[in-house]
A and B are shown apart, each in its own frame.
Chain A
Amino acid sequence: MSQFPELYEAILNGDAKAALAYTKDAIDKGLDPELLVNEAMIPAMDEVGRRFECNEYFVPELMIAARAMKGALAEVRPLLVKKGTKPRGRVVVGTVKGDLHDIGKNLVASMLEGAGFEVIDLGTNVTPEQFVAAVKEKDASIIGLSALLTTTMPSMRSTIDALSKEGLREQVRVMVGGAPITQEYADEIGADGYGENARSAVTLARKLVGAE
């Protein structure tokens, strides 16, 4: 059981208001923000992921839980930064050039945040050049590329090629996902991994940074 059952339950139930109120109150009382993240937020999102995998939760439940977690996390983030707490890893995400479908990408971004990663979300229709610039600027360890259309899948390959051309391919792990993407395609374009859903994207990211 979590040390902070109220926060844990609020996230699990997607109760954004309760999660935020509890977090504010805890901070006012001088509780360690890192403890809130590690003992309530991350375990709650782990449990959400487990329930999703077991078909106890579906996409809406996943989304509202992530929303509650994000609200609480936004409250403690400035304190973590001040304290110098290191994230588990830094992930740049976006939908590739030409693709405006971001429901899946947003879900993955939330789940990664809920797993302790810092997520830099470049949004939709992101060009290879923009991905390269963000990796450089943010010193990201992982990049997550999303596509819903087979029409835009070639942009994944061009993004990986752009990273190689800039000499960044060795320093960043590339993960890909989206409805038409397969492990075979990930292998074909030289990506480091493929996640079938938001839960497996988190497992993969942890593996890629050597945390699992």
Chain B
Amino acid sequence: MLPLKLIACEIFYRELCAAVARSPGQVDIEFLPKGLHDIGSSRMVARLQESIDRVDGSRYRAVLLLYGLCNNGLVGLRAREIPVVVPRAHDCITLFLGSRERYLEYFHANPGVYFMTSGWVERGRDAGELHQLSIGHKSGMDMSWEELVRKYGEDNARYLMDQLCDITRNYTQFTYIRMGVEPAEVFERRVREEAGSRGWKYEEIDGDMSMIQRLVDGRWDEKEFLVVPPGCTVAPSYGDDIVRIAEPGT
């Protein structure tokens, strides 16, 4: 059987390497920068499409995307000569928690939670080379205190720092998701410290590798994954199943 090509957000680096190591078949990974999430959905879609288009359809069985819908960052993606498999997930937290039901349940029971994993600790912050393109940068959300004071005066700088520059300003808790592939206490400690310095609550929960593993192993139940046939595109479903195949002509 031909191998699988997996295009993944680097936020899954450790988990995906572990899952692929355990997979019965061959899976070739291409990691893309986490910063794609910060440049607006149309640019993100374009970058993902470039990666899909580079896959040699004669050498692979399917292209797997280790992404959620990610603020419509997958909308309009087209499968070329081989299928593209997309998890039914709003974002990566579903994949870290193993099911979208578990994510929604936790999400609604705990408003104001900022989830952390090893990947979010290591790679979650900086948009890197994509920084200049990021929405935050274009909206002035990343301006330093000095820059704000210079442009708007101290009084307005204080206001903007509080009102504009911190997207997490209404958050009250870090939840660290232990995936079991990373060394114990290395990441927990860092998140706990940051929670302390922000005055946030801190919680640890166990993650669940099974959904990532099922994607990698080729077990794509239609309740959990959308298989996009060649030539078709991804659309949001606006329902519980999150993604669907676009109607022809749309």
Residues of A at under 8 Å CB distance from B?
14, 16-17, 58-60, 63-64, 67, 97-98, 100-103, 106, 124-125, 149-151, 153-154, 157, 179-180, 182, 185, 188-189
Contacts and interface: CB of A to CB of B under 8 A. Distances in A.
B104 A59 contact: no
Contacts of B151: 60
7 contacts: A16-B156, A98-B108, A102-B170, A150-B242, A154-B238, A154-B239, A182-B72
B55 interface: no
Interface stretch (B121-129, B160-168, B176-184): B160-168
A182 B91 CA distance: 18
Main secondary structure on B side of the interface with A: loop
A116 B111 CA distance: 33
B91 A151 contact: yes
A149 B164 contact: no
B140 interface: yes
- 7 smallest CB-CB distances across A and B, nearest first, come from A100-B170, A151-B90, A60-B140, A59-B139, A64-B156, A180-B71, A150-B90
Interface of B: 41, 69, 71-72, 90-91, 103-104, 107-108, 111-112, 138-141, 143, 148, 151-152, 155-156, 159-160, 163-164, 167, 170-171, 236, 238-239, 242
Given A64-B152, A103-B167, A151-B107, 13 more contacts: A58-B138, A58-B139, A60-B140, A60-B164, A63-B164, A64-B159, A67-B159, A98-B111, A103-B163, A125-B111, A150-B91, A151-B90, A180-B71
B4 to A, nearest CB: 26
Given A98-B111, A150-B236, A103 B164 contact: yes
B160 A63 contact: yes
Contacts of A63: 159-160, 163-164
A82 to B, nearest CB: 29
A97 to B, nearest CB: 8
A100 B238 contact: no
Contacts of B239: 154
A153 B238 contact: yes
A150 B72 contact: yes
A17 B156 CA distance: 10
Contacts of B140: 58-60
A180 B74 CA distance: 12
Most buried by B among A16, A125, A151, A157: A151
A179 B71 CA distance: 7
A176 to B, nearest CB: 12
A114 to B, nearest CB: 16
A197 to B, nearest CB: 11
A201 to B, nearest CB: 16
Contacts of A150: 69, 71-72, 90-91, 236, 242
A64 B149 CA distance: 13
A122 to B, nearest CB: 14
Contact of A188 (B41, B111, B164, B238): B238
Contacts of B170: 100-102, 124
A109 to B, nearest CB: 12
A14 B167 CA distance: 22
B156 A67 contact: yes
